[in-house]
Amino acid sequence: MLDTEKLTFEHQCGGAVIAERLVLSAAHCFDKHPLQVERIRLVMGEHRLNIQDKHEHRFLVEKVVPHPEFRKNGPHSNDIALILVARSNHVQFNSHVRPICLPDAGAESAGRWCAVTGWGYQTESTESFAPVLRAAAVPVLDLATCRKDQILGGRQQAILDSMICAGILSGGVDACKGDSGGPLACTHGGRWQLHGVVSWGAGCGRRARPGVYTRVAAYVDWITRTASALGHRL
């Protein structure tokens, strides 16, 4: 989870730990304070948003690398960013903080049920973040379904191959504001893999309006290259 500063720090977005000092999130999460890393605090092991949890630790951020082609192919395209945690504090994996696996490059997820988690709004109009981490199970839709005009087709942002649509078409279960950057996690052979990053939607939980996620499998090469450019092995 990331917090960016106003007067004090406030919740902004989610994220997923993929290695000791690497967190994956959404590029649009950094629109507000473009890459002013000193205004960001990254929290690992968070559970209750407004209470200091036993396993929660705050970290400074050394660098944020948004995808170089963010917004190149529509307002939500390539909505992914890699965050390097500052070296000052040591990240310790434990029962509450551990990295999620990346999917195999090109991994398919249509038809699978996955979990989306975060502290985002519980309805489109609540305007407050969830006090305790929430999780919802959502099925991954195939792109052809998602591209239908009655679903998310024919809009300003086309549903690209580098996106995943997931959600219940009858409505009611979805990510929402504040969940951005957080994981869409799917189990695969007994391990959790990060298939999506919460990116955008049309409202929240509306009928025939699934959530749209950045398809991590399409970015495994970029993530690996960027990690090594940052001097971090994956």
Q: How far apart are CA 214 and CA 4, in angstroms?
A: 22
| By the rule CB under 6 A, 180 interacts with ligand ARG | yes
Structure tokens at 90: 């040591």
The interface region with ligand ARG, picked from 60-68, 107-115, 176-184, 226-234 by CB under 6 A, is 176-184
Question: Using CB atoms, what's the residue nearest to ligand ARG?
Answer: 201
Pairing of strands 9-13, 2-5: antiparallel
Closest CA to 216 of 21, 26, 28, 73: 26
| By the rule CB under 6 A, 178 interacts with ligand ARG | yes
Choosing from 130, 197, 201, 227, the residue that interacts with ligand ARG (CB under 6 A) is 201
What are the start-end ranges of the H helices in 30-146? 143-146
Torsion sign, CA atoms 159, 83, 118, 192:
positive
Question: Is there a catalytic annotation at residue 180?
Answer: yes
Choosing from 66, 120, 183, 196, the residue that interacts with ligand ARG (CB under 6 A) is 120
Question: Is there a catalytic annotation at residue 79?
Answer: yes
What are the start-end ranges of the H helices in the chain? 143-146, 220-229
Identify the active-site residue in 162, 180, 195, 199. 180
Tell me 176's DSSP state.
-
Question: Is there a catalytic annotation at residue 76?
Answer: no
The interface region with ligand ARG, picked from 40-48, 91-99, 130-138, 197-205 by CB under 6 A, is 197-205
Structure tokens at 68: 């170089």
| By the rule CB under 6 A, 15 interacts with ligand ARG | no
Other residues' Cβ atoms within 10 Å of the Cβ of residue 8: 6
Closest CA to 30 of 59, 58, 67: 67
The interface region with ligand ARG, picked from 1-9, 84-92, 126-134, 178-186 by CB under 6 A, is 178-186
The least distance separating ligand ARG from the CB of residue 228, rounded to whole angstroms, comes to 29
The least distance separating ligand ARG from the CB of residue 24, rounded to whole angstroms, comes to 15
Report, as residue numbers or ranges, the catalytic residues: 28, 79, 180
Enumerate binding residues for ligand ARG (CB under 6 A).
120, 174-180, 198, 200-201, 204, 211
